[in-house]
């Protein structure tokens, strides 16, 4: 079925019958969990190689934080941050078709995506669902590359409520009310997938992401996880992007002021639920632990 495989490069399909793990490499000073940890190209490439050695099929490399309240980063600065990392990793590990790792670039800007693809990236992870830059879908169609389309309520700079959880719901009155959040998110993702198809992107190259933590309450996020099967009915693989997010800490009842790294147990629990419900690509900080978790779910050796 369509949601059990993804084609990030024309003619090269990733088998998703078993959930897979992709590591997060943030080349940013201000990401919520690991901002500033990877201050050099060499450090970022080393982190990527550690993740691949631990069982990740590849890495998602970004140069702009999408945490609530984060300001946008100029295209030139994003390119400066991510392109040398992609180029060095590709040079060291080889192309996807030759057994090298999957590399996606986490950006909403066409200029950054194009530079990343030219440097060796295989696909684009666009958290705006390709709405920030109208030319993104055309670029991916021309490049014949994969695209991940995510749902979010508002851009990060306008999101002041996603981390303000009170009693299991977003604490700000400005938080969106979805009604049935799964229907609302599914409708948006279906519309963006259709736009991608109309732009000439192959059905097999499209992946969808419900945008866990992006302007959703704890209850909203849990509903999206539990009802992932309804999203797979759209016919595309689903990515899980909940790693270390604040709603995980709220779900765990962790005290105020805790560190994102303390959310590992909750992340693994919810990632396992998401995988069991149908998510097929887990975007995570803690690769080894997730690979082991998937192995346990599948009853087989780590993928």
In 3D, which of 20, 15, 89, 86 has the Cα closest to residue 56? 20
What is the helix (H) or strand (E) element at residue 107, kind and residue range?
none
Question: Which entry of 67, 245, 263, 280 is annotated as an active-site residue?
Answer: 245
Question: Which entry of 9, 67, 109, 283 is annotated as an active-site residue?
Answer: 283
In 3D, which of 93, 99, 136 has the Cα closest to residue 116? 136
The verdict on whether 283 is a catalytic residue reads yes
Q: Name the token pair of 65.
A: 């934080």
The verdict on whether 263 is a catalytic residue reads no
In 3D, which of 97, 125, 93 has the Cα closest to residue 237? 125
Would you say 66 and 32 are in contact if contact means Cβ atoms under 8 Å apart? no
Distance of alpha carbon 193 from alpha carbon 299, whole angstroms: 33
Distance of alpha carbon 69 from alpha carbon 256, whole angstroms: 19
Which residues does the annotation mark as catalytic? 245, 283
């Amino acid at each position: 079925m369509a949601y059990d495989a993804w084609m990030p490069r024309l003619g090269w399909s990733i088998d998703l019958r078993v959930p897979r793990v992709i590591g997060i490499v943030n080349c940013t000073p201000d990401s919520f969990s690991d901002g500033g940890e990877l201050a050099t190209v060499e450090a970022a490439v080393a982190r990527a190689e550690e993740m691949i050695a631990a069982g990740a099929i590849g890495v998602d490399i970004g140069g702009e934080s999408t945490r609530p309240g984060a300001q946008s980063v100029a295209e030139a600065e994003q390119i400066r941050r991510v392109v040398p990392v992609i180029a060095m990793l590709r040079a060291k590990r080889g192309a996807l078709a030759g057994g090298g790792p999957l590399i996606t670039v986490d950006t909403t800007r066409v200029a950054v995506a194009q530079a990343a693809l030219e440097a060796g990236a295989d696909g684009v992870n666009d958290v705006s669902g390709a709405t920030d830059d109208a030319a993104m879908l055309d670029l991916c169609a021309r490049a014949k590359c994969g695209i991940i389309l995510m749902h979010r309520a508002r851009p990060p700079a306008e999101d002041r409520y996603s981390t303000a959880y009170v009693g299991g719901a977003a604490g700000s009155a400005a938080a969106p009310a979805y009604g049935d959040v799964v229907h609302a998110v599914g409708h948006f993702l279906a519309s963006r997938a259709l736009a991608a198809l109309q732009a000439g992107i192959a059905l097999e190259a499209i992946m969808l992401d419900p945008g866990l933590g992006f302007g959703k309450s704890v209850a909203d996020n849990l509903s999206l996880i539990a009802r992932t099967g309804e999203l797979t009915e759209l016919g595309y693989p689903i990515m899980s992007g909940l790693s270390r997010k604040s709603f995980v800490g709220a779900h765990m009842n962790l005290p105020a002021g805790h560190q994102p790294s303390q959310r590992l147990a909750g992340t693994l629990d919810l990632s396992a639920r998401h995988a069991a419900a149908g998510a097929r690509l887990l975007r995570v900080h803690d690769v080894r632990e997730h690979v082991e978790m998937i192995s346990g779910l599948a009853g087989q050796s780590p993928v």
